[in-house]
Structure 1
């Protein structure tokens, strides 16, 4: 079944909190990492431009026209609309898919994500619950609902849903990454490192778990491994401000203000509103 991946922003992969550089900066200033909190940001790492392109939508619309009673056709096109940021069109297609097949649990989960993007958290929760009620073994719905819970501050409920997805032998890296973020926020960095490592093994081309693991390495004073992870994050994606700020933090800890300032400057260039980067640049600029 075609599913809409739980992502739509360039930053904040795996529906994660901002990579956590704010926590690292506080750690650098002498505040315990476990006491720090970050706020949720984007749900996704990248927009799938190809699948949301007008050409692909046109092709999928032709399939819908040939099969107007096929719920799968609407689910597939709805997923493409969602990937392309056309949320209202996606919502209509998932509505139609569910009307045609009331037990279409994948469409419920996909529609829940669209509700979240549109700010209707109550409808999103209802759809995730319905998806799980129809298929209690559907890992994607647990991960999506877990992200919804975490955004609402229901950390234990979020943890339980990520745990359930993992118990179902999910191969979705978001379950491990997001559980790792919860462990990290609670100061359980060895568990966090293990989860981030699993996420990396499942999705080795994403920078986000490298940033997460690097911060937990840093919290356990494993500076060398932290630095290696931040450098890998930059290698994988040079346009993520958090990665550059994390690298800058290591340089700053080592007393190399020139290199730190250069990395903070790159982070600030990528995101002028990223306070960690601008504050770091002010500290290290000579």
Structure 2
């Protein structure tokens, strides 16, 4: 439908009025937006002063959304970021403030200080020089002058440190880089360089802190994660090594060095965990085999060679392979003479070999390194009792069996000796008396060593048939007295019976 000319003329007459109305509406909207921005800024300022940083930051976000060209909103948000320790996030906001208001010296001075901490010395110097050339306050002028001088000084130390490193004077390089990092705390490059100084001086453990910091300061820093993982691996902390190398692969799943190292650490970690699980289960021979596989997986790192030796020492001692235990423990202790675990394991093996004086020496040495270890104290007291006991009557020696002999071995040895020393086998009175005493000792040994409770007490250094070793009397004393002058295997008389050894 076409509007008649009279209608068109009427619309044109209203057009100026419509423009005025639209302009007024726009001004109202703009005022409302500006009012919201001001409210957000004011509220954010109050929250910031109260220490409610997250809430303050939220208001500053809203202020910037409402007015993307409000330099004050960016400056206050940068202040909130700095208060939260998010300095890296503050720099873009400070740069936006300077872009919107180039003469805002406070923002430029703050940005210069942050750039200095990052080690961006040339950019920092430029900011400090511009502050000095922009009619600053006396306080800002003083700060800028000091920071500019510091930038020049740091630049000199930095250059000297890098030169010393290139000349392989790692100690000098380290001391110079220490000075640089007192100011440039966020300089990832210098931290990595100082880490290399530590590594080249044979102190890889000290490099970890710098490399970890560098991995956070520089995005996608796979090299730092790889180096940290390698250091942990060589120091023997395979769990942390595995954790760090996984971080590298998160950044780059196809990283050649990280992937190869990941496979190595994972395999070694699994072998060590399996070996320890076998030890917990008492499967000591299997654990030794698993630890021998560890050496094949990693033959070049001294820590793992020593670990395998120490754990084999432990397994042999627990499995009562005393000679093997003494050999392995002794070889390990030549490298680590203060190893409490190896001293305890060797002492245990010495007891199995009935070398009580040697066991006592090992327990005493272990006690020097671990004074409050209750287990060592108890084991030392046991070894001392066993030494004293060995100087009296030793049931194992009487039967000629080892301390780890099984019950069947004990019975077999007893039968053989009982046949040999039965008093009926002797005619001479002196020989018969000697045989009677020997026969009673053999029977006593059999009684003690085939009774689990009595054998346990004897192994702990107490003779369950000796009144002198008892703490207050009991049926055991009576049993011992009954053995004197009677037949322990028959129905009475002075051994005038025929003993059936079957």
Q: TM-score, normalised by structure 1?
A: 0.51
Select the residue among 65, 70, 73 that pairs with 2:193.
73
Aligned to 2:267: 165
- 2:276 corresponds in structure 1 to 181
Counterparts of residues 1-286 of structure 1 (less than 5 Å): 56=170, 58-60=172-174, 62=176, 69=189, 72-73=192-193, 75-77=195-197, 83=203, 90-100=208-218, 102-107=220-225, 110=228, 129-134=246-251, 137-138=258-259, 164-166=266-268, 176-200=271-295, 202=299, 203=301, 207-285=306-384, 286=388
Once the two structures are overlaid, the 10-residue window that deviates more, 90-99 or 245-254, is 90-99
CA gap of 1:176–1:105, structure 2 versus 1, over 3 A, is farther
> Following the alignment from structure 1 to structure 2, what is the Cα–Cα distance between the partners of residues 236 and 111?
25
- SS of 2:214's partner is helix
Distance apart, 1:265 and its partner CA: 0.6
Kindly provide the CA deviation profile for residues 84-113 of structure 1, in whole angstroms up to 9, marking residues without a partner as x: 866xx8535532354335232543772899
Counterparts in 2 of 1:210 and 1:276: CA distance versus 1, 3 Å: farther
Distance change (3 Å), C-alpha of 1:182 and 1:56: farther
Higher helix proportion (structure 1 or 2): 2
Q: Partner of 1:33 in structure 2?
A: none
The CA distance in 2 between the partners of 1:85 and 1:221, in whole Å, is 38
Deviation at 1:213, TM superposition (A): 1.0
Determine if contact 2:351/2:383 at 8 Å carries over to the other structure: yes
| CA radius of gyration, larger in | 2
Equivalenced residue count is: 196
Kept in 2: contact 1:70–1:100 (CA 8 A): no
Tell me the CA shift for residue 264 of structure 1: 0.7
Whole-angstrom distance in 1 between the partners of 2:275 and 2:201: 30
* TM-score, with length taken from structure 2: 0.32
How far apart, in 2, do the equivalents of 1:68 and 1:193 lie?
44
Q: Distance in 2 between matches of 1:165 and 1:139?
A: 11
Structure 1 contact 97–104 (Cα < 8 Å) conserved: yes
Structure-2 change in CA distance of 1:85 and 1:259 (3 Å): same
Q: Distance in 2 between matches of 1:239 and 1:176?
A: 26
Q: Structure 2, unaligned stretches of length 5 or more?
A: 1-168, 181-186, 233-238, 389-502
Q: CA deviation at 1:284?
A: 1.4
| Cα RMSD, aligned residues only | 4.4
